[in-house]
A and B are shown apart, each in its own frame.
Chain A
């Protein structure tokens, strides 16, 4: 009989303890697997969220997230210059403001109002209806230009796309109308409402779970905030050409145009997020991974050692029958591998379910984008999981193997008989 066969028989003979040990390893393994998913999950999800917008360079006026609006002076001219660069494929100007939305007699809702110029790539996914329309295809104009001389409110033209939260709150559909009033932070204002028309329901990438978001054209935005076109955006998004060196090269070139601004490629943003916002989860993931591995090692090693101590007579008898040290050691290794292997395998689906639960808990954090996740599967997590459990199985079997290899056969058998 092979060592694997012997190990399998032992596992079947002591069924209860085997099942309990496998269950223990599976639960601890699930936690380890989740910590591996967490170790880069938020970062991977954040990078995916940035990339899904289709833009890979961001230009802002100040570092961090200012509480007050920090406009980019001369952003329309800057956008035109950026658009003229050979490494750039597309440019969009973004403005954001706080606003209040009212529909009929319903309680008004505070929303994040986004205005953006036309661009080929969209930062949202249309769920129902259409996206914002900027006129005939091919008439893409420079960022600072307007569709016509009149303001949209004068033309009665304020198309908006809304997030699903707002659509649910007001029972809105494409074609519905709503009144939007800008309420700029930090200044006293009493701006009139602008009647807008919902053209589509969309998923905003960066909108929070409980956030109401509305996006419109830059013309309509300026009508709502009652500002003529200053060409001062809060954010300029740039899509680079991959063949010209990608986002990093484009960011360097744009920074050369305006040294007073902050220019970040998606990689820069992710790296900054990794240094600051993500550090806590990286630390807790490392600490808990180390703890769970130590825990699994200690417990499997203890189980095997106690089990071997109970079976010393049996092992001495096997040795007396002529089964060599190596086969006994291989049997113990297989026993460890069966316990740890079965537990680690079960840990994967269990870890998946647990990850959903933990992700649900963490995503209740206020202000978190709806599409951001903490636990993201990556093949490397699976590889590390397997490698760590192979090491654990081998390390946990080391002491019992050493114990049995030094076992005096005659003395042990005699002790068993006398006992």
Chain B
């Protein structure tokens, strides 16, 4: 029947009438992937929808498709048990029969402004022409965007982590410099200058820091998919939680390189500033 109704060449007049009645009686609904899984729905199934829990004024709909809800970072913890109807079907389902205005009311009107139109000006004009209607730009300003705040929070945590790891790096470099005390004494003895030794330490620090940063970026890059999969499974969403971008990788290297050089120089300077005899413990 489904196939026949969608192939007009197969229809007789009576069958066409029957199909028209059947299709008219069951308008289409799209259901979210999560709702389809929860309610074991497939395309072509018939479902009954009502606006209240008592099932009053229920109507039958045909599942025309299953969709993946657009990932929304503001609602990633919410279960996306949703469906989409054509607006006239939704109004017919929910409108109050005793209130004629409810059949002409919607909650939101989305619009795209023509190029060059100032959003704030448009909203002000709208408010003056239609009192009670409030307009909002879909683009968030930095003042009311919670993700800007979260970004600052993550940045603060990153700074603390970098400061902590720099202290550890410095401790390791100090140990390493102590280990090479005798070597440095001999090198100084044979006439290699402090400047040359400091340069070699700086280069060593730079190479170590860049190698560490590259390893870190590679680790982040390889675990990115795993982290995303864990959180996507946990919250049943297609939202991408972690994304290692080239800009982010460059920033990591740019922070690590000067820190590595500085730690190496600071640790070695405690030895290099001494005279040669004290390096030999004399």
Instruction: Identify the A interface with B (CB < 8 A).
Output: 14, 16-17, 20-21, 23-24, 27-28, 30-31, 67-68, 184-190, 260, 275-277, 279-280, 283, 288, 292, 295, 299, 302-303, 306-307, 310, 354, 357-358, 361-362, 364-366
Contact = CB atoms under 8 A, between A and B. Distances in A.
B87 to A, nearest CB: 18
Interface in B181-218: none
Given A188-B130, A188-B132, A357-B156, A366 B143 contact: yes
B149 interface: yes
A31 B165 contact: no
B233 to A, nearest CB: 13
Interface in B221-236: 231, 235
Contacts of B24: none
29 contacts: A16-B171, A20-B168, A20-B171, A21-B167, A21-B168, A27-B163, A27-B167, A31-B161, A31-B164, A67-B107, A68-B107, A184-B132, A185-B132, A187-B132, A188-B131, A275-B77, A276-B77, A279-B235, A280-B77, A303-B175, A306-B172, A306-B175, A307-B175, A310-B178, A310-B179, A358-B156, A358-B157, A362-B149, A366-B146
Given A30-B160, A185-B134, A366-B144, A24 B171 contact: yes
B167 A24 contact: yes
Interface residues of B, number: 38
Contacts of A306: 172, 175-176
B153 A27 contact: no
Contacts, number: 98
A361 B146 contact: no
Contacts of A277: 77
A303 B168 contact: yes
B120 to A, nearest CB: 16
A190 B170 CA distance: 69
A353 to B, nearest CB: 11
Interface string B127-155: 00011111000000001111001101100
B146 A365 contact: yes
B29 interface: no
Which secondary structure dominates where chain B touches chain A? helix
A48 B42 CA distance: 46
Contact of A302 (B145, B170, B172): B172
Interface of B: 53, 76-78, 107, 130-134, 143-146, 149-150, 152-153, 156-157, 160-161, 163-165, 167-168, 170-172, 174-176, 178-179, 231, 235, 270
A303 B107 CA distance: 62
Contacts of B270: 16
B178 A27 contact: no
Contact of A365 (B149, B170, B172, B175): B149
Given A21-B171, A292-B161, 10 more contacts: A20-B167, A20-B170, A31-B157, A31-B164, A275-B77, A295-B164, A361-B152, A362-B150, A366-B143, A366-B145
Nearest to A28: B164
Contacts of B53: 260
Nearest to A298: B168
Contacts of A365: 146, 149
Contacts of A24: 164-165, 167-168, 171
B131 A190 contact: yes
B97 to A, nearest CB: 17
